[in-house]
Amino acid sequence: MFKKVEFIKSVYNLSDLPPPKYPEIPILGRSNAGKSSFINALLNQRGVARVSSTPGFTRALNFFLIDRKFYLVDLPGYGYAKVPKEVYLSWKELIEGYFKNTIRDFALLILIFDIRRTPDSLDEALIKFVKSLKYPYLILLNKKDTLKEKEVSRQIELYKERFSLPSDVYPLAISCKTKEGIQEIRNNLKKIIER
């Protein structure tokens, strides 16, 4: 379990990023996929990251420092239907600028999807972008509790195929509600950070 969680800041402009003093693990995904819920589950704290009841649009990159060892970064989600094109473009610019920033130490990128959804062109574009960065990444299919075991397997195969994932990258089905799969991820993160 992680012990100390410090909220560092919300970043709206790339010029405002905290110094890259620690390895960082950004959390990416569509709005409402469960990014904030995942951060809360992982840290075993309610309300560290704000969970939205209505899918909304947070523009900021929220930095959390964990055990003075690494940053967890809650990134703004994409794919919120009511967002105008300019807002999508500014999202894209912020995210791309952040990842192209080569002085930062990206230890692992975590991508979260709602397991019930069929991946669309936006999701595919994200995967393509993430693959192009050459950082290690982990794909999580959240809200496993909403599906039967058979449907879970079917969705895992669907994501694997749509994203043309290499055989060693397997999407992991989790639930932030029942906490299934969360301890396994904690153990993996610890290994990655203490590398």
Ligand X SMILES: Nc1nc2c(ncn2[C@@H]2O[C@H](COP(=O)(O)OP(=O)(O)O)[C@@H](O)[C@H]2O)c(=O)[nH]1
Contact footprint for ligand X (CB under 6 A): 29, 31-37, 51-53, 77, 142-143, 145-146, 175-177
Q: Which is nearer to Mg ion, 76 or 171 (CB)?
A: 76
Q: Which is nearer to Mg ion, 36 or 175 (CB)?
A: 36
With CB under 5 to 8 Å by kind, the binding choice for 155 among ligand X, Mg ion, none is none
Residue 46 Cβ vs ligand X, minimum distance, rounded to whole Å: 12
Residues 38 and 139: their CA atoms lie apart, in Å, by: 13
Strand partners, 110: 27, 138
Decide if residue 37 touches Mg ion (CB under 5 A): no
Residue 58 Cβ vs Mg ion, minimum distance, rounded to whole Å: 6
Q: For residue 139, count CB atoms less than 10 angstroms from its CB and return exposed for 0-12, middle for 13-18, buried for 19 or more.
A: buried
Strand partners, 111: 28, 139
Provide the residue count of the chain.
195
Q: Which of 36, 142, 155, 175 binds Mg ion (CB under 5 A)?
A: 36
Q: Which residues of 57-70 are buried (b: 16+ CB within 10 A; e: fewer)?
A: ebeebbbbbbeeeb
Query: Phi and psi at residue 25, in whole multiples of 5°?
Result: -125, 100
Q: Which is nearer to ligand X, 153 or 164 (CB)?
A: 153
Residue 108 Cβ vs ligand X, minimum distance, rounded to whole Å: 18
Residue 166 Cβ vs ligand X, minimum distance, rounded to whole Å: 25
